[in-house]
Amino acid sequence: MITSDPQEFGGDWTRKKLDIFGGYLKSYRNIFDNGKAKWYRTIYVDAFAGSGACVPNGTPEDAEMADSAQAILDGSTRIALEHTPGFNEYLFIELNKKNAASLERLKDEYPHHNVRVVRGDANKALRDFCASVEWKRNRAVVFLDPFGMQVEWEVIEMLGATKGVDLWYLFPIGTMNRMLPRSGPPGPEWGDTLT
């Protein structure tokens, strides 16, 4: 039962991306069945989490199913919640008020999961997350799939410094390409964002 307000974006590549990511999560969780790794707590972090569901657009298949519940795809948050065995903790970060409210409803749908929703800036929330976790006993998957260039390099460095995070950063190359001038280096207004 989807209680989320689906966002409209993506296309066939969105389905493929989510399928690949779901397969990865299954493999990741299987690691913790071995004797040495089973003592770690596992955390799933989804920054730029969205609403928990999406309706891809732009393909003929989508047009045919536009009014169908089949057209609604589970988002990365719901895919993570569906995996068995699950993670010990889930942290969903979303700036948009409506999307964050949809994520809050997931807590009711998955009452046996330890889900926390943070409504706010993903960079700040990720900094707080890195600083608050005891990394000798915890491991995390952090999923970053922003629409734009919001992720700060310092946050990537902090995540790496934990030595306990598997980072999935789906870099928005299309956004970066649109920011580049046709010739010469980018102007100072984009320099910090791009480098």
Owning domain of residue 124: 7-194
- Closest listed residue to residue 99, CA positions, set 128, 70, 68, 120: 120
Residue 142: helix, strand or coil by DSSP? strand
Q: Is residue 2 part of a domain?
A: no
Q: State how far the Cα of 12 lies from the Cα of 60, in Å rounded to an integer.
A: 10
Instruction: Give the total number of structural domains in the chain.
Output: 1
Q: Could you list the pLDDT tens digit for every one of the 195 residues in the chain? A: 444 554 444 456 667 888 898 899 999 999 998 888 889 999 999 998 888 755 556 544 544 554 454 555 677 899 899 888 899 999 999 999 999 999 999 999 999 999 999 999 999 999 999 999 999 999 999 999 886 557 899 999 999 999 999 999 885 554 454 555 667 676 666 556 555
Asked whether residue 158 is assigned to any structural domain, the reply reads yes
Residue 1 lies in a domain: no
Q: Which residues contact 144 (CB under 8 A, 6 or more apart)?
A: 47, 48, 122, 151, 167, 168, 169, 170
Residue 93 lies in a domain: yes
Give the CATH number of the domain where residue 13 resides: 3.40.50.150
Is residue 18 one of the residues assigned to a domain? yes
The pTM of the full predicted model, rounded to 2 decimals, is: 0.78
Residue 127 lies in a domain: yes
